[in-house]
Amino acid sequence: MAPSDLFISLVILTLTPSTIVLFTRADLPGTWELLVADAGIASMHTAVTHFGTVVLLDRTNNGPTRKRLLKSQCRQGSNDTVSKKDCYAHSVLLDPQTRQIRPLKILTDTWCSSGQFLPDGTLLQTGGDGRGWRKIRKFVPCDPARFCDWEEVNGVALANGRWYATNQILADGSVIVVGGKATNSIEFYPPRNGAIRFPFLAEMADRQGDNLYPYVHLLPGGDLFVFVNNRAVLYDYSKNLIVKHYPPLDGGPRNYPSAGSSVMLALEGDYSTAVIVVCGGAEYGAFIKMDTTTPAHGSCGRIVATQPDPVWEMEEMPFGRIMGDMVMLPTGEVLIINGAESGTQGFELASNPCLYPVLYRPEQPLGLRFMVLNPGTVPRMYHSTANLLPDGRVLLAGSNPHYFYNFKAEFPTELRIEAFSPEYLSPDRANLRPEIQDWPKTVRYGEQFELHFTVPLPVVGLVEVNFGSAPFATHSFSQGQRLVKLNAAPAVPSGERGYRTSCTAPPNGAVAPPGYYMMFAVNQGVPSVARWVQLLA
């Protein structure tokens, strides 16, 4: 390896007002890996199925892609296509194990649509542009050796058209669809009561929007935390009632097109406490002025949403960032990755890509929570995604800041798929990595069950057992993302290098909605490869 590869890009980071730290690339944790050199499409929406495959989706009206459909699958032209006959794939299925890509056929336009997994593992996909505005689609995943494809749901449509909406699975396994462009309402799947007005969305709109792709988190009490622009409410969706108004978050608008991100931290203990973090965003007015050079905000707000009188605790990231993705890791830490340091969300509206991931460590004190990680080399800006894989890596896909595919621009359309490995996957920690050997494939709420795992070195301390959801990632927000730390007994020896631990499944659907979860055993901060478990009501 050349010296320039080891010491490229000296970085000076001001972490506190009085501390300046120098890093070289070689000092920083985490590694990068190219998985697929050409996926054929740039993924705008990405989701990991319980078969370990990955669904990637783009628009259908952006012209030719690099992946063709079979001739028998060509679509006839409409307002959802550029040409009279479209023989190009706008969705593909990736098998990360074999790195094989298979084209999928999507009929109606999924541009800026929303999604969520149902309790049976089906990917529900809603809305979009053109003929997709009120459309409901499903992808029923299957074993990689079999064939499965998108299904357009006939006879059932959204009550309101949804473009830039958010989906969240609820405690009973139904899905709420919130907002959308000029759509200040909510509705449910399976359908019930049609569309219901939600005036808070309209109240939070400003001249440039900033009320799109709301940040929606299901709290363990059963109500929703809904964040729009710079404000949040506690929303009882069953009564269509706002229970609480939270104080405004300083730092300007955070939702589309201002392009911050949000995550709910891991639920643990008695599951009565939920903490929400909102980070980054563009300067107000950058979208209106189409200004690509305005610096992004680096502020993060953190609030205990379940407290009677909560307030935002503010902190600064090492970088200003728009269009960053916040990925819940199996450990309960948060990876902040992708995005840019200047501009705003939208076609051709950002510059200065932020290549440095940042690790947010919730248990550290204020001022010490951010760790800068090893930078990548591929700009991931508008229309890029990040998703946790069962093996603990983070899949990075997409980036198309252009209306059509453009491979000659300063920031070209990106067809490469990468994986980022956090420090917990480094070779010097391999002896700490558990391997789950025996586990239940289904568990019910409150059920006690045993987990058998092996680990090369003797276990010291408590081994965590954590359930991680598989969210629908798009536009800097992972819809339905959550991590639940189970109550687990200390591990006891069982066979050669083996251990058993007794765990208790989540108590109800508000803590963990029914569905498939990646179950990780975490030993001294090092997660196992996940095993899929279906949580049943």
Phi then psi for residue 327, to 5 deg, are -110, 120
**How far apart, in whole angstroms, are the C-alpha atoms of residue 92 and residue 111?**
15
Structure tokens at 503: 């765990």
Helices and strands (H and E) in the chain: how many? 3, 47
The answer to whether 395 touches 386, Cβ cutoff 8 Å, is: yes
Beta-bridge partners for 194: none
- The C-alpha atoms of residue 192 and residue 358 are separated, in whole angstroms, by 41
**99's tokens:** 């790195």
Tokens found for residue 2:
């050349």
In the three-class reduction of DSSP (H, G, I as helix; E, B as strand; rest coil), residue 95 is classed as strand
Residue 123 and residue 55: Cα distance in Å, rounded? 9
Q: Strands (DSSP E) along 220-260, which ranges?
A: 224-228, 231-236, 241-245
| Cis ω before 248 (30° cut-off from 0) | no
The whole-number pLDDT of residue 26 equals 59
Tokens (6 digits) for 8 = 């490229």
> What is the sign of the dihedral through the CA atoms of 74, 78, 79 and 84?
positive
Structure confidence at residue 82 (pLDDT): 63
Query: Which pLDDT score is estimated for 19?
Result: 36
Q: What parts of the chain have a pLDDT lower than 70?
A: 1-26, 77-83
Rounded CA-CA distance 325/279 in Å is 10
- The sign of the torsion formed by the CA atoms of 390, 503, 268, 460 equals negative
Sign (positive/negative) of CA torsion 11, 15, 20, 24?
A: negative
Burial 184-212 (b: 16+ CB within 10 A, else e): bbbbbbeeeeebeebebbeebbeebbbbb
Q: Which residue spans within 354-471 are E strands per DSSP?
A: 358-360, 370-372, 384-388, 394-398, 417-421, 435-438, 442-444, 448-454, 464-468
* Torsion sign (Cα): 173, 479, 423, 270: negative
Q: In a 10 Å sphere around its CB, with 0-12 CB exposed, 13-18 middle and 19+ buried, how is residue 20 labelled? A: exposed
The whole-angstrom separation of Cα 219 and Cα 234 is 9
Q: Which of 324, 322, 275, 319 is nearest to 301 (CA)?
A: 275
Query: Dihedral angle at the C-alpha atoms of 107, 108, 109, 114, nearest 10 degrees?
Result: -110
Which amino acid makes up residue 49? T
Cα-to-chain-centroid distance, residue 461: 30
* Residues written for the chain: 537
Q: Do residues 526 and 429 lie in contact, with contact meaning Cβ atoms separated by under 8 Å?
A: yes
Question: Token pair 């954590």 is at which residue?
Answer: 466
Question: Which strands make up the sheet holding 123-126, listed edge to edge?
Answer: 114-117, 123-126, 136-139, 150-152
Contacts of 347 (CB under 8 A, 6+ apart): 382, 401, 402, 403
pLDDT tens-digit readout, 227-280: 999 999 999 999 999 999 999 999 999 999 999 999 999 999 999 999 999 999
Report DSSP letters for 60-75, one per residue.
SSS---S-BPPGGGPE
Give whole-number Cα distances, 333 to 37, 328, 356, 364, in Å: 29, 6, 16, 10
Longest dimension (CA), the chain: 66
Which H or E run contains 199? helix 199-203
